[in-house]
A and B are shown apart, each in its own frame.
Chain A
Amino acid sequence: MTIQITPAAGFDDPVQQSQQAFRALLDAMARPGRVTTVETETGHPDGLAPALAAALLTLADLDTPVWLGPGFDTDAMRSWLRFHSGAPLAVRPDQAVFALLDAAQMPALETFSYGTDEAPERGATLLIQVPGLTGVDAMTWKGPGIKDSISMPLCGVDQSIWRQRAALSIEFPRGIDLYLGCGRDLVALPRSTAISIEGA
């Protein structure tokens, strides 16, 4: 058994690097479906995509409970997140402002907060680590930030999860916002985007 003594590194220069990472996150959120690269270097625990590590270091702090999903609820991950961000770890997924999830082990979307009609901003942001952001197009995304429409692959996320997400559109403005991360690349899917799955 190995004991993790020191957490993995974070940003070398938090002020500048978190700003650079934020601009990538903002660009991605403003243009759903467009692959955005988080250029800035960041330390990260083994197994966590640098793009999602940068997102957590940029956005999470003591005001934002983070829920670590199956596969990420490890000592290395917990100590890294606590050391760098000070974020409390959510016990239940519905308490989470941010949730870190693996595409292969996704819980149902309804386990997370959608916010309320009067305060929709309380809906959770899910950071989903995916095996890839390319592949055979299987979905069409439409909405603010997308000029006409954009074709997207399933990105390694199960079709049942995409179906849950597609059904969420009628709840708008309640909903959840997603970031899909692979390596240093990100794709955002805000709740305002309507998705339709081919053959579904």
Chain B
Amino acid sequence: MARYIAKRVMYMLITLFIIATLSFFLMKMLPGSPLNAEEKLTEEQQAIVLEKYGLNDPIPIQYVNYLAGLVQGDLGISFAFSNTPVTDILMDRMGPSAQLGAQALVVGTVIGVLLGLIAAISHNGFLDYTSTIIAVLGTSIPNFVFAGLLQYLFAAEWELFPVALWGSFEHSILPTIALMIFPMATAARFVRTEMVEVLGSNFITTARAKGVSEPGIVFKHGLRNAMIPLVTVIGPMAVSLMTGSMVIEQIFAIPGIGEQFVNSVMVNDYPTIMGTTLLFAALFIGIILVTDLLYGLIDPRIRISGGGK
């Protein structure tokens, strides 16, 4: 097991290195420069400013310098926010996004699993169709539509929640609901499909014949088996939720990382773009590792320690 993890961590580092390299060169292909007053300065004046940021060096040298900083954990100083280290920006902006993402993930998955369970148990019944419709709507309607609707109804019309802005827990409720629709619908769809299949399989019939109680069958035998595909999708979904949604953050005026990331790309803030990309990538790769380890716990058939894989 330890060897397996060590191997995986090494792969992770290699992947990160490739991502860093790719995004570095892709970023250099963005049109324009990080200068804000580009059109007002002569070439010579632009060069003086770029010199300060080390952007006059040939690209391979910039790349080496960049990697050197990275190895030392230095993500650099933002071009857009003068004198502000990228790590500070990430720290500041990650908080609200992570909180919203976590809330949406937990609430969404829980409700989704319940919906899926109910649907599977009343297979082809009224409740099944209802929850399927909810799931289809949830995956197909983009969340900014929900966000706008929620804001209009619950904040503007009925004044139950604040319209936007960030601060108290109350402020996080509407964006959380808007964000949780997708994980909810996804979880419901997966759980339903799996449960229907599992509940129809032979070992369930055996369990029934043995006289296992219905809750026992659903939770102990059914749900546990249905969890495997769910775990696969929840991992990456967790990352995408916690790294922020530009649209939701913009609509509810939340100072999150998703919105910041898009902004950085718009103004060619290279260090911030790189820092954010790497952070997202690391989170993503880390979660995939955790997911793989979880499989083993949930499903003995995919045991890693056995070395069979």
The finding on whether chains A and B are genuine partners in a shared complex, rather than unrelated, reads no
Give B residues with C-beta under 8 Å from A: none
Give A residues with C-beta under 8 Å from B: none
